[in-house]
Amino acid sequence: MKPYVIGLDLGGTNSVFGIVDANANVIAETSVKTRGHGPVEQYVADCVEALKVIIDKVGGIDKIQGMGIGAPNGNYYTNCIEYAPNLPWGDGKIPLGQMFSDALGIPVAMTNDANAAAMGEMAYGAAKGMKNFIMITLGTGVGSGIVCDGKMVYGSDGLAGELGHVRVKADGRECGCGRKGCLETYCSATGVARTAREILTTTDTPTLLREIPLDQIESKDVSIAAGKGDEVAKSIMDFTGRLLGSACADFACFNSPEAFIFFGGLVKAGDLIMDPIRKGYDENILKCYKGKAKMLVSQLDDAKAAVLGASALAWEL
């Protein structure tokens, strides 16, 4: 086993690389803008040039076990990014894993960003030692990574586990996926802001949120107001958490998890969001599962979690 792996957190704006050791220490980092390179081949070439600098710092490519990539619509089975709407290289299948492998001369594995987060949590964080858990990422959308019997659930095509697109309201809010009522339209950071705007435009209840221009309200504004005791903001957090907890009660039916682990900016609200999640879960869980699953917050550093998660894939290569 070689001493280091590379993790790539590939986002719509930035691509962040880290060289990671077996103790989850990020030894060296670099980043490249995801856009502005032209064709994907040039993007890979530019990334490799940036990587060479930090690879040399750890003794060269011979010290690297492999590379893991966490990317939107990354498919573990095909090592391709498939139809990712927020990336600049078209809407087809992009064999990015193989392209990096050919350019660097090391094995490369890929998965989607939420699965990468779950892998990181299992290797380095709150899920260390667990074999059955569900990772829920609460960001712009709601992502999820499902682990059963110590293995990621990828399904028949590598795309399993899109719990953010489970419908929680039959004729609810329109979702970017084209359907209505998806969980992420309510329980993501975007969903929280959406709930706030709906309340402000349909009621005249006094709230600190009215001090913010309607189109500029973000989930953190709701969290801050709730922390100050604002009743409207607290009700938004309660609605969001209970709905998410209720959905998790349904999710428990297919893998009876030891824990649900929550990650993302929304989780920084602490008990303001976690207590309603627990209540929503406890009120809706089947009796046979009651009291078994823990509701945990990720132990990974926000700034490095995605890179660590992607790097965890590479230790298996």
Confidence of residue 275 (pLDDT cuts 50, 70, 90): very high
Segment 297-307 mean pLDDT: 86
Q: Check whether 306 has a pLDDT greater than 90.
A: no
Give the model's pLDDT for residue 87.
Answer: 87
Kindly report the average pLDDT of the chain as a whole number. Answer: 95
Q: Which residue has the higher pLDDT, 98 or 13?
A: 98
Give the model's pLDDT for residue 177.
Answer: 86
Give the model's pLDDT for residue 113.
Answer: 86
Give the model's pLDDT for residue 67.
Answer: 98
Give the model's pLDDT for residue 72.
Answer: 85
What would the 3-class secondary structure string for the chain be? CCCEEEEEEECCCEEEEEEEECCCCEEEEEEEECCCCCCHHHHHHHHHHHHHHHHHHCCCHHHEEEEEEECCCEECCCCEEECCCCCCCCCCEECHHHHHHHHHCCCEEEECHHHHHHHHHHHHCCCCCCCCEEEEEECCCEEEEEEECCEECCCCCCCCCCHHHCECCCCCCECCCCCECECHHHHCHHHHHHHHHHHHHHCCCCCHHHHCCHHHCCHHHHHHHHHCCCHHHHHHHHHHHHHHHHHHHHHHHHHCCCEEEEECHHHHHCHHHHHHHHHHHHHHCCHHHCCCCEEEECCCCHHHHHHHHHHHHHCCC
Q: What is the pLDDT of residues 214-254, one digit of tens each?
A: 999 999 999 999 999 999 999 999 999 999 999 999 999 99
Residues of the chain with pLDDT > 70, as a percent, come to 100
**Of 47-56, 138-147, 179-188, where does mean pLDDT reach its minimum?**
138-147
Give the model's pLDDT for residue 207.
Answer: 98
Confidence of residue 305 (pLDDT cuts 50, 70, 90): confident
Segment 34-61 mean pLDDT: 97
Entry pTM: 0.88
